[in-house]
Structure 1
């Protein structure tokens, strides 16, 4: 994880994103790339019927806000003593992050809960997870850092998404104090949790296997119970195994956990 993207937006989750990005950079000797994206809507001039609008003044105001935000965040980088660079762009945040992620290793976003615009924020994280060719680390807004060396949990169901997330997380799983592979309902009986553990063992990661039955509970409920029981500090999960539209309408494990995540989640699609 040498190149770590983190969006800069001065929102309620920014401090959590920055702290997690700093921890990743220190653990992996990597570089944090701060991505500041200004939507085109910021340059909107309003209703033409209102008369002429000083476009130059509007652009100067937007640029002034950009500079103030950058100055504040640069002070945070200086205090953390990590390698970093700044990228400023205009346009769509998801599109920009997905494009820049082609030459990155991970994108740090937020999970929930959020006090405002929760659905929109979760949708952004989900869209980046689907659109970017890298994993996404989704951290709760109240989180203060990522304990990479703490115990980790891999949620396994035999799906392609679970396998992609597990493989993407390997550099970090090697640093974890312990790794548990949890299976509740496997979609592919030919690729069981013990097979995932054997794969990791060949890469120097010794993982315990935990098999749980749902017993009438949702998979999300079981995962949350195991997270509490094992005291893990971060987890790995495939993102949106069913169609995104179906999960948006009916819910799903990914959407449920992202909405109120108990620990940072590394997700991949």
Structure 2
């Protein structure tokens, strides 16, 4: 079963007047993981798609998504798959990829239908693609990583880059995830902006009772979303993005837009946040 929800773009002027319900309806992705289903959100921000596929021991096939206007999703798109569950298999163009938790799979334009099987819980991100590039399965040991922050500021973390220019070539999708060291809960601090691309956050490995307070909005007009396990946030190019959790968690970051330069950001001083 395939379900697709379309999210129109929201300007910063509209966001200023939104209450909690409206903010969550525009920017928070809930209920993406349901046994036996593929659930997608089609965003007008850089035409990014985020979603989840849960075969639950059976098989699911992702092919035509009407909102994309093509016979098959990958006719004019690329796809990033992150397994956040048990062992599973993803198959495309006759090639099967066995994925453990934490593995990332890149599928390029033109590979046709994609089938998911096993006990995996597959987080999906997709962006328009201008070229056909080779598929690649990237395991944690193959990702580029660096550690930043400090325990004293509660943001000691390691950033793993998978679909990234220093690891492999993609068209515009850039993806990785961030893991925290003991006692650290703040992500992406200090906050920043990147006006040339949007970003989607996906939080996982939170305890059922834990929450992440995800900060968003213009630097002078910040807002927040309270996010639970396996929920996503659509972060517009005009918005800051950072957050703090009530316990340990991991988050996937995925970007699409004008370039693939991870460092193309504008830092926001803490004193400028309101």
Of structures 1 and 2, the one scoring higher in RCO (CA 8 A, sep 6+) is: 1
Same-fold status (TM-score > 0.5):
no
If you compute each CA radius of gyration, which structure gives the higher value, 1 or 2? 1
TM range (shorter): 0.3 to 0.5
TM-score by length of 1: 0.32
